[in-house]
Structure 1
Amino acid sequence: MTSPRLPRRLLLSAVSLLALASLSTGLAQGAAPAPAPAPPAALAASAEAVTFSDEFDGPAGSAVDGGKWQIETGDNVNNHERQFYTAGNRNAALDGQGHLVITARRENPANYQCWYGRCEFTSARLNTAGRFTTTYGRVEARMKVPRGQGMWPAFWMLGNDIGQVGWPASGEIDVMENVGFEPSTVHGTLHGPGYSGSGGIGAGYTLPGGQAFADAFHTFAVEWSPNSVTWSVDGTVYQRRTPADLGGRQWVFDKPFFLILNLAVGGYWPGDPDGSTVFPAQLVVDHVRVTTGGGRPGGGPITGLGGKCVDVAGANSANGTPVQLYDCNGTAAQQWTVGSDGTIRALGKCLDVASGGTADGTPVQLYDCNGTPAQQWAVPAARDIVNPQADKCLDATGGNSANGTRLRIQTCAGTANQKWTVTR
């Protein structure tokens, strides 16, 4: 994304200021201190059990679940946004029909003061800091965005260490951003040290046929694994990013992040509302879900071309044993566990790219799990299985579905011999 937006930064409460003293701007009211990140070993051990879900069920007018979300308050000078984020349920409330409605209004009932003087608009911003963080997994929200010049809805994540390292060293993953002057397009972006603001690494997705995102609900998601983030809209993958996209700059996306939902009004990127903008404007959220997991106990089959299964040749657990296609037979040689640590395992060992190769045609094999990039895999909703180090897909050699066909990595082409169904 090449938009001229500046840092969003984090708006947090006076209670949080001590914990987040390294933030120099954008601080306001409403949050509690985030707990210190767990050490990596603890995260790896616990991640499979972590699931976040909010279906926003409750009586009309109810506030969001305070056990899951905190409400931020204040303005945001960093982007020159025009709104004041309010507390309570005035601008963020359940509608009684299973939705959260975040409302932006042209009003100022409490004489709120913004960076430019008396505020002209109110809205809401929620986050899960201090309530929920995740490292890796599928992060999704089903939403219907507002329409209108100056509207800027977003679903995004910040590194939980922002209070210690600041932004952009904390990292930011924008799952979905929309600006009102692009009614048919959303953006997904990574921000980190040396690639933040207008230099963020990302891409846009545009609906076909001139459809507008404000016309219907859509599901926006990222599939996040070690060294890989993949974006999709309604299950259609439109970009995947790995450390190879950063030109040698630091990848800061292998640690806990928390979630943020907000509806901004105006700012450098969307521009300000004009006479055509209708208020109140609403971001309607059907659900937010985070699923992390390493598959079901005991694993399950991975099926591909011709309905055949990914199979360890001869059910042999020796290092270097070929991995192939074979008739599905329910044996342990075909029971694979997709781990939250980015591994795919069978017979107590890992799916491995031979010799850590990155070239087309490099075979895959079974090998002792060793934590190297040769054993890291991303499994996005598009049904690719991708080795991020090589940025290549698991592939049935020659498009052959015969028993014994060797599996390898190959440039991703979206073909049937690179499509897999993983049983989780």
Structure 2
Amino acid sequence: MSFRPALRRTRAAAVAVVLGSALTTAALNTQATAAPDVSIAATTFADEFNGPAGSPVDSSKWTLEQGDNVNNHERQYYTNRTSNAAMDGQGNLVITARRENPGNYNCWYGRCEYTSARMNTAGKFSQTYGRFETRLKMSHGQGMWPAFWMMGTTGGGWPNNGEIDVMENVGFEPNTVHGTIHGPGYSGSGGIGAAYNGPRFADGFHTFTLDWSPDSLVWSVDGNVYQRRTPADLGGRQWVFNNRPFYLILNLAVGGYWPGDPDSSTPMPNTLVVDYVRVSNTSGGGAITGLAGKCVDVAGANPANGTAVQLYDCNGTGAQQWSRSGNALQALGKCLDAAGGGTANGTVVQLYDCNGTGAQQWAISSANDIVNIQANKCLDVTGNNPANGTRLQIWDCTGAANQKWTVSAA
């Protein structure tokens, strides 16, 4: 959110997220039996929100803030009640904004008109660099302002400590989300960011990801990279996003300078439904090397759907940096995919939007095979040809050198 240091009453800050999970074990009928000790990225924080319906937020991971927020002129009072933040029993957290004031709460403008929830991991989890991700279904309506964001734990007060907004949406832009950074000399409305225009985000679940590494911040939505920021973007101002842990914040605000106030068209109660928040300890991932010491590579570093995945000289670019989320292998914000969901020998592999289908489910074995679980076939260098540009495919697992891969951590 563009400017939100402490709440006026109870200070608690930041939540936010993200992703990057370790590959799960899979039982395969070939010699390639999945091995959990082979890893690209380790999950350092995850909340899958799998509690029973009506159960509260996990207090070992999150603090629920209480109070109003005069800084942004928001209208809600944040509470720690399950009526504002609770599990739905279907694997989701539901943050609910309500037009009510059951506790006779007082806000900056007088008697509060709304309640909602804001939760953070301050003092419980923070991390420097990595992949931060959430999957959620947006709130909607005039005056609604959901956000998934991060605050620095050192460096002094805001904005010197730094703020990274992984995802913000304002209700009058139902098809747009924003990613922004704030620091000394570029805070509040002067934050540096970009917008991503997509579908109406309240109509379904979408995944919002930040990949953070030294001198680099990369935002994506559903695997589509839409913004990269480096110190070069600051015009000589201070980059405060290196060597500093950040904690997470997740909230649903009502009203404020940016979204404006709700009106008669705004649905109440209004919900933000969160499937998960995940964080891994590497953003770009690591190289996967194979035949002749060459790397699994996205041709031309092109993130378009259908781009060939090939063998190429290792060069350390993002086209060769693979990370893992569940059983998916990802590069450039998209997934390694067996074309058309094919399971036959010779089905080529490509880059494609992550969709959770069997075409994108892979196991890495202790024998250094990478196996498409659905097809029960191995990632294979076509024709055992070590030349740059040789297409990769799936094929019956044979144990040959053109099916052996070494996964290295970044």
- TM-score (normalised: structure 1): 0.64
Distance 1:105 1:190 in 2: 29
**RMSD between aligned alpha carbons?**
3.0
Bigger drift between 302-311 and 262-271 goes to 302-311
Q: How many Å apart are 1:309 and its aligned residue?
A: 3.3
Give the residue type in structure 2 aligned to 1:310: D
Size of the alignment, in residue pairs?
294
Structure 2 partner of 1:142: 135
Give the residue type in structure 1 aligned to 2:267: V
Select the structure that is richer in helix: 1
Instruction: State which of 306, 310, 317 in structure 1 corresponds to 2:313.
Output: 310
User: Does the alignment pair 1:239 with 2:227?
Assistant: yes
Q: How many Å apart are 1:338 and its aligned residue?
A: 8.1
- CA deviation profile, 1:122-161 (whole Å, cap 9, x unmatched): 0000000011001111100000011100000000000012
Structure 1 partner of 2:252: 263
Q: Give the secondary-structure state (helix, strand or coil) at the position aligned to 2:202.
A: helix
Question: Sequence identity of aligned pairs in percent?
Answer: 62
User: Does the alignment pair 1:28 with 2:10?
Assistant: yes
Structure 1 partner of 2:262: 273
Give the residue type in structure 2 aligned to 1:194: G
Structure 2 partner of 1:91: 84
Give the residue type in structure 2 aligned to 1:75: D
Distance 1:139 1:120 in 2: 33
Contact 2:138/2:272, CA 8 A, preserved across alignment? yes
Distance 1:283 1:136 in 2: 26
Structure 2 partner of 1:381: 333
Q: How many Å apart are 1:292 and its aligned residue?
A: 1.1
Q: Give the secondary-structure state (helix, strand or coil) at the position aligned to 1:53.
A: strand
Q: How many Å apart are 1:7 and its aligned residue?
A: 1.5
Structure 1 segment 114-193 matched on structure 2, within 5 A: 114-161=107-154, 165-193=156-184
**What residue ranges of structure 1 are gaps of 5+ in the alignment?**
12-25, 33-47, 312-322, 326-335, 340-378, 384-400, 406-421
User: Does the alignment pair 1:293 with 2:273?
Assistant: no
Structure 1 partner of 2:272: 283
Bigger drift between 297-306 and 244-253 goes to 297-306
User: Does the alignment pair 1:216 with 2:204?
Assistant: yes
Tell me: higher relative CO, structure 1 or 2? Use CA pairs within 8 A at least 6 residues apart.
2
Q: 1:299 to 1:236 in 2, by over 3 A?
A: closer
Q: Give the secondary-structure state (helix, strand or coil) at the position aligned to 1:80.
A: coil
Structure 1 segment 61-72 matched on structure 2, within 5 A: 61-72=54-65
Q: How many Å apart are 1:193 and its aligned residue?
A: 0.4
Structure 1 partner of 2:4: 8
Contact 2:95/2:252, CA 8 A, preserved across alignment? yes
- CA deviation profile, 1:334-354 (whole Å, cap 9, x unmatched): xx9989xxxxxxxxxxxxxxx
Structure 1 segment 293-372 matched on structure 2, within 5 A: 293=282, 300=289, 302-304=295-297, 305=299, 307-311=310-314
Distance 1:170 1:50 in 2: 25
Contact 2:151/2:164, CA 8 A, preserved across alignment? yes
- CA deviation profile, 1:354-387 (whole Å, cap 9, x unmatched): xxxxxxxxxxxxxxxxxxxxxxxxx74259xxxx
Q: Give the secondary-structure state (helix, strand or coil) at the position aligned to 2:313.
A: strand
